[in-house]
Amino acid sequence: MTTTTSTGANVLHTAYQKSVAAYWNSNQDDPVNLLLGHVDGLYHHHYGIGDYDPSVLEGPSDTRDDRIIKEMHRLETMQANLLLDQLGDISPSHRLLDAGSGRGGTSIMAHQRFGCQVDGVTISEYQVGFANDQAEHWGVANRVKFHFRNMLDAGFEDRSFRGIWTNETTMYVDLFQLFTEFSRLLEYGGRYVCITGCYNDVTGGRSKAVSRIDEHYICNIHPRSEYFKALAANNLVPINVIDLTASTIPYWELRAKSSVATGIEEPFLTAYREGSFHYLLIAADRI
Ligand code: GPP
Ligand code: MG
């Protein structure tokens, strides 16, 4: 069953989804993402990993901020590369799905790396337009396509994807519904890769810092346990779990010193340092 026409009415099912779409449609002047994307034309909507080069903070003050922005972009691209590393052996004949594709950066990188077809879905029509313009710009629009669709009900054929990823998008949806759809879309032996922020069941419920992150992005961060319950319930078996918390902290420290800081840096740093929140990568196989 393939959805051929996508309208607001059949993509956005709830008042909450409409409010999330409205947020991302209105988020068109966000230097923290646009200035980083201008560095090399790959526009990300996720955070970074790895140590930053401390020399970017030294040297001439008039170019300091440019150096910081380039370095933040390098760390975000490193995060996307780590995610793609986890997809396993992907050949040009395979097909990949970017669920919650933002402005398209990770999809374009995936095509550049694997040579395969990539589809991205997002509930923001602005992001669909931006990302398709990027695919044109990179000359890959015949193989990388962005669609105004809902990842909970993406409308592609059963078992049509070798790999699916979510890069910081699962906090907007019910995980059981999401993984039911991914289980339908993945071929047997296909791989799902998730990078997410999740709260720590061991320290208890949602901390104040985690609640501030939820409020900032209009999302509902899930507990770590929820991911594994929802994967297990949908024939998705983890093969790799990486706690990226320690390696994302430098990104937030650098971002806090940049001109593009948005005010959400302190809640992230507090949540990670106090242990109430993790930055996690999970790779799981469809059985
Ligand atoms: C997307 O990044 C961020 C989210 C979808 C928020 C939730 C993520 C968590 C890990 C809790 P972005 O690049 O659009 O954010 P920003 O504009 O702040 O850089
Ligand atoms: Mg960003």
* Integer Cα distance of 142 and 172 in angstroms: 29
> Which tens digits make up the pLDDT trace of 223-266?
999 999 999 999 999 999 999 999 999 999 999 999 999 999 99
Q: Which of 20, 34, 45, 72 for a ligand 1 pocket mutation test, highest count of atoms within 8 Å of Cβ? A: 45
Task: Please tell me the pTM assigned to this model.
Answer: 0.96
CA distance 68 to 208: 29
Q: Which ligand is nearest to the CA of 170?
A: 1
CATH architecture designation of domain 8-286: 3-Layer(aba) Sandwich (3.40)
Number of neighbouring beta carbons within 10 Å of residue 2: 8
| Residue ranges covered by each domain of the chain | 8-286
| CB of residue 138 inside a 6 A radius of ligand 1 | no
User: Residue 61 pLDDT > 50, yes or no?
Assistant: yes
Q: Give helix 64-85 / helix 245-256 axis angle, nearest 10°.
A: 160
pLDDT reading at 2 higher than 90: no
pLDDT at 1: 43
Tens-digit pLDDT profile for residues 62-87: 999 999 999 999 999 999 999 999 99
Ligand 1 atom nearest to 45, measured from its CA = 13
Q: How many Cα atoms within 13 Å fall on the side-chain side of residue 27? A: 20
Confidence tier at 59 by pLDDT (50, 70, 90): confident
Pairing of strands 277-286, 117-122: unpaired
CB 118 within 8 A of CB 90: no
* Mean pLDDT value across the chain: 96
Does ligand 1 have an atom closer than 6 angstroms to the CB of 197? Answer: yes
Average pLDDT over residues 2-29: 86
